[in-house]
Structure 1
Amino acid sequence: MTESTSAEPFDTPRSSATQDEWPLYEVFVRGKRGLNHVHVGSLHAADDDMAVRHARDVYTRRNEGVSIWVVRSDAITASSPDEKDPMFAPSGDKVYRHPTFYSIPDNVPHM
């Protein structure tokens, strides 16, 4: 009886689903100097933990980041490019949104 070998890493969970059937994840990385997470790419993974591990291996090989977010693509809701003007146009008729109607204390920096 011969022992079967696999090319998969030992920590990859075995699943009846093939890699093409795994859900798609979007990957965001926060750089060492930056404050914001930036979208760096996408990958398929069997579960959330695998997505984080694969994102680390693929997108931070050279110590590019200090934090990784992975989000299933089917959980993202985005605005449509057709809604650009009504969604992001300034609200000139909503003057209460402008800071001129509020007194700002002197000890509040950078306002």
Structure 2
Amino acid sequence: MSGQDFTAEGGHGAVPLEGVPAAKAGHGSEREWPLYEVFVRGKRGLNHVHVGSLHAADDEMALRHARDVYTRRNEGVSVWVVQARHVAASSPDEKDPMFAPSGDKVYRHPTFYSIPDDVPHM
């Protein structure tokens, strides 16, 4: 096995790094795999839920590792992985302007509409 570069960073065992591109300039001299965010849909749920993050060399490896790490007890029916750099998210500091209700749009409030008495469960 001489000549191959192995690492056990992350505690998941030695993984060959041959053929994996090195980190970009300015990001350190060690090789870095992209960070992936992992979402799992459980057997009882309809929505995928964020369960954690992991590093992988490519999408296929990320799916395999996500399956192994986050669905070990056979609790998932679907796994999504997405590179963290592709996730667009709001900041918690933007909470008030982002999620504050608009007072000038009365049609968004349920009190604006009249509901007939014979309509159940509204």
Given the alignment of the two structures, is residue 68 of structure 1 paired with residue 72 of structure 2, yes or no? no
State the 1:27 CA deviation: 0.4
Name the residue aligned to 2:19.
15
Q: Percent identity, aligned pairs only?
A: 71
* Mapped partners of 2:76, 2:33: distance in 1: 25
Given the alignment of the two structures, is residue 29 of structure 1 paired with residue 40 of structure 2, yes or no? yes
Contact kept? 2:40, 2:76, Cα under 8 Å:
yes
CA change 1:46–1:110 in 2 (3 A) is: farther
* Mapped partners of 2:98, 2:45: distance in 1: 27
CA change 1:110–1:34 in 2 (3 A) is: farther
* Mapped partners of 1:110, 1:73: distance in 2: 40
Counterpart secondary structure, 2:78: strand
Give the number of aligned pairs.
104
Alignment counterpart, residue 107 of structure 2, candidates 65, 71, 96:
96
* Mapped partners of 2:100, 2:34: distance in 1: 35
Counterpart secondary structure, 1:21: coil
Counterpart secondary structure, 2:103: coil
Contact kept? 1:28, 1:40, Cα under 8 Å:
yes
Unaligned runs of 5+ in 1: none
Higher mean C-alpha deviation, range 88-97 or range 68-77 = 88-97
TM-score of the two chains, using structure 1 as the length reference = 0.74
Unaligned runs of 5+ in 2: 7-13, 23-29
Deviations 1:55-76 (A, max 9, x none): 0011101101111110101111
> Per chain length, whose mean CA-contact separation is higher, i.e. which structure has more relative contact order (CA < 8 Å, sep 6+)?
1
State the 1:97 CA deviation: 2.6
